[in-house]
Structure 1
Amino acid sequence: MSLLDFSSDVFIAAFFLYSGSFMLFTIAIMGRKWSGRKPEEHTARWGRIAFIVSSLGLICHLAYFITRWAGSGHIPVSNMYEFMTFLSMMVMVAFTVIFSIYRKIILGVFAVPISIIIMAYAAVFPQEVQPLIPSLKSIYLNIHVTLAALGESFFAVGFAAGLMYLLRTVNFAGKEKNDRKQQRLVEFTLFSIIVIIGFLGSVFAFRGAGYETVFVRSNVTIDSPGQGDSTIEKVSYKMPPIVAPYHSEIESFQPFLGMKKPLFEAPSWMNGVNAGRKFNTVLWSLISGLLLYGILRLAARKPLGRAIHPVLDGIDENDLDEITYRAIAIGFPIFTLGALIFAMIWAQVAWGRFWGWDPKEVWALVTWLFYSAYLHLRLARGWQGRKSAWLAVLGFLVVMFTLVGVNLVIAGLHSYAGTD
């Protein structure tokens, strides 16, 4: 067995161990009411087992990282698959650090799934080892990307703790205007997470079924008066095409639930043959998310935030507030070093300038400014509790757009995601 094959095997093992630890953390919290033991004994016992299982998963994840590095000859953070697998590992490192400090078992129910979702998202991308492009052949790749990901992983734990704080403190039985507003915002946050899960479910379901529809489009470019060049562009859909690329024709169409052609065409302002496919993916994510959300609502027979709220009974809200702040306070200087300082040094070495207003650079700066504002408002203005929790939740949404949206949607010098 080659190192790369072994690397893939231990990565899968890490995924299942994390999934198992999540279920064990859930049993530790949910099962305390039905256990024959005292609730504290039940929670502590199953919490220890869950943490041991998550630690074993982290060991497997580290083994994946080391063996893939050895097998590929370069640190495995150079494309979206490698970076997302590394980020998910760093989230578990951050969780392990914070858990070791505070010993709050409920944190595993919210933080571990973030790593699991990121690992599943990584599997969407091509997994083959790819040679480094010239600008990535630098020691600064190791420093810049790893430190930035580690800082972002602590932001992820802060997000988990902040969301827990909101679920713990929002008055879901309240009828006042502010209470209803808070309920809707929490529910929308949970729905957004479910949309991501729905997207992943759709991708793997259609991929497992081998679904594919191909469109072609003629692209004409005019170089000078009377002269032009015509090329044929193809795009392959791995999900049933609700929306077709603008001005395209069907080369091959695989029917789905009676659908024999796309429902409509992408508007003209969606430039590029892949724009329609991305729009189609967004639509399927929303449809899948709505279906999954509807099923969960029917099962719970109440809004999800209200259903989850009792699980956090007895949890000290001040501890959750402290964990949120502490995680972000640890991650901020690490992120500053990795995403800004070493990034600018590398930019000077690779491109001859410290700053060039590339989209990824801009959004890294936006992320840094957001968390700078968080720390300023927390320390100087006394923004604690609910205000602090909402900032932690919104901040991580900015992080995810910087990681995903910029790489996949906005063209720039950092768009080397390794997508099909």
Structure 2
Amino acid sequence: MPIDETLARYSDYSFMSAIAVYTLATVLLIVQYASARAKQVAARDHGPVDPSLPGRIAMPEAKSRAERFGDMAFSVLSVGAVLHIASIVLRGFATHRFPLGNMYEFTTMATAAAVVIGLIFLRDQRFRAMWAFLLVPVLILMFLAGTVLYADAAPVVPALRSFWLPIHVTIVSVGSGVFLVSGVASLLYLYRMRQPAGEESSNIFGTIARRLPDARTLDQLAYKTTIIGFPLFGAGVILGAIWAEAAWGRFWGWDPKETCSFIAWVLYAAYLHARATSGWRDTKAAWINIAGFVAMLFNLFIINMVISGLHSYAGLN
């Protein structure tokens, strides 16, 4: 069937609009982050007001400027997620296929999964400060997807015309998005460990750290999201092997992408094991988690764009 150019154009518009909305949300989150200190200082200097004191009228506490900007950012972020998902859906209708046939579409799906997972796990007020750090890599990946990785709406190559495409690649892309949230949480955990919560350090690094959730909360977030991403990614690898047997007559051939995917899976398995092992639960386990995410990025960019293999369907020609 011919490509629907109108829907393809609307898909591109939705994608670009999502980037603009995420950028606005990031600005609002940075303002919230910068304003959070004012409320902390006011509470420390004046202390809580006891409404039971004589002559004191109990009034509902007005939201601080930081909370107002945080609420606005979360609302804007939700709009961005809708536009992001709309760009994927429109791309699928425009091409009459599942929209996961090249690196542009894969990256779009993975970043959308990261935002949706963030909306689920980071809804609590205590996690609002994390959003600015999550949206930065999301915006970088989306910018690369819209420029370096972009591919015009078109049919997929014959090798990808299989019912396995929406099953295998969707699971892997969603798992990659979950690992993005986990990786950011571990990075912030390591940073938080270097700047303990109780320090009243005057340097900028200590100030930034104090506005993040505590280290234990960040570590738990990384662990919980990895528990979700690990079986998803593992299932994706297994289903990919089944597809490989149907397409190439063998389950596993140590193709560069297969090898790198296996390494990433082993690293995440090692992280979960280390997280449950005494003496490895703290920074050592977090570094393993970050190593797993680096392997995922290497698999996405270097393997697809530099190293040739049976999985070379980047759509960058």
- TM-score of Structure 1 vs Structure 2, range by shorter chain: 0.7 to 0.9
Q: Which has the higher strand share?
A: 1
Residue 194 of structure 2 corresponds to: 170
1:36-80 Cα distance to aligned partner (Å, 9 max, x none): 996884433322221111111010011111111001111121111
1:145-193 Cα distance to aligned partner (Å, 9 max, x none): 1111111111111111111112212159xxxxxxxxxxxxxxxxxxxxx
Residue 263 of structure 2 corresponds to: 366
Q: Which structure 2 residues correspond to residues 93-108 of structure 1 after superposition, within 5 A? A: 93-100=116-123, 103-108=126-131
Residue 154 of structure 1 corresponds to: 178
Is 2:39 the partner of 1:142? no
The one of 273, 293, 310 equivalent to 2:207 is 310
Q: Is residue 152–residue 399 contact of structure 1 (8 Å, CA) maintained in 2?
A: yes
Separation in 1 of the partners of 2:42 and 2:70? 14
Separation in 1 of the partners of 2:235 and 2:23? 32
Aligned residue-pair number: 286
**Matched residue SS, 1:391:** helix
Residue 247 of structure 1 corresponds to: none
**Matched residue SS, 1:104:** helix
* Pairwise CA distance, 1:308: 3.7
Separation in 1 of the partners of 2:124 and 2:233? 21
**Pairwise CA RMSD of aligned residues?**
2.2
Is 2:26 the partner of 1:22? yes
Residue 86 of structure 2 corresponds to: 63
Separation in 1 of the partners of 2:24 and 2:286? 28
The structure-2 alpha-carbon separation of the partners of 1:111 and 1:126, relative to structure 1 and needing over 3 Å to count, comes to: closer
Separation in 2 of the partners of 1:101 and 1:356? 45
Residue 6 of structure 2 corresponds to: 2
Separation in 2 of the partners of 1:131 and 1:5? 16
The structure-2 alpha-carbon separation of the partners of 1:117 and 1:388, relative to structure 1 and needing over 3 Å to count, comes to: same
Is 2:132 the partner of 1:128? no
Q: Which structure 2 residues correspond to residues 199-278 of structure 1 after superposition, within 5 A? A: none
* Pairwise CA distance, 1:20: 1.0
Separation in 2 of the partners of 1:110 and 1:93? 15
1:243-289 Cα distance to aligned partner (Å, 9 max, x none): xxxxxxxxxxxxxxxxxxxxxxxxxxxxxxxxxxxxxxxxxxxxxxx
Gaps of 5+ in 2: 44-62, 197-202
Separation in 2 of the partners of 1:409 and 1:352? 25
Residue 301 of structure 2 corresponds to: 404
Is 2:251 the partner of 1:354? yes
Residue 330 of structure 1 corresponds to: 228
Q: Which amino acid aligns with 1:17?
A: V
Separation in 2 of the partners of 1:38 and 1:85? 42
Residue 16 of structure 2 corresponds to: 12
Q: Which amino acid aligns with 1:360?
A: K
The one of 306, 311, 317 equivalent to 1:414 is 311
**Matched residue SS, 1:2:** helix
Separation in 2 of the partners of 1:375 and 1:405? 26
Q: Which structure 2 residues correspond to residues 69-88 of structure 1 after superposition, within 5 A? A: 69-88=92-111
Separation in 2 of the partners of 1:36 and 1:378? 33
* Pairwise CA distance, 1:381: 3.7
**Matched residue SS, 2:280:** coil
Separation in 1 of the partners of 2:215 and 2:150? 42
Q: Is residue 84–residue 119 contact of structure 1 (8 Å, CA) maintained in 2?
A: yes
Separation in 2 of the partners of 1:309 and 1:156? 24
| TM-score computed with the length of structure 2 as normaliser | 0.84
**Percent identity at matched positions?**
35
Q: Which amino acid aligns with 1:398?
A: A
Gaps of 5+ in 1: 173-305
The structure-2 alpha-carbon separation of the partners of 1:102 and 1:320, relative to structure 1 and needing over 3 Å to count, comes to: farther
The one of 49, 54, 72 equivalent to 2:72 is 49
**Matched residue SS, 1:100:** coil
* Pairwise CA distance, 1:384: 2.1
Q: Which amino acid aligns with 1:3?
A: L
The structure-2 alpha-carbon separation of the partners of 1:354 and 1:308, relative to structure 1 and needing over 3 Å to count, comes to: same
* Pairwise CA distance, 1:101: 6.2
Residue 119 of structure 1 corresponds to: 142
Q: Is residue 19–residue 116 contact of structure 1 (8 Å, CA) maintained in 2?
A: yes
Separation in 1 of the partners of 2:104 and 2:20? 18
Separation in 1 of the partners of 2:228 and 2:271? 13
Q: Which amino acid aligns with 2:110?
A: L
* Pairwise CA distance, 1:31: 1.6
The structure-2 alpha-carbon separation of the partners of 1:397 and 1:36, relative to structure 1 and needing over 3 Å to count, comes to: closer
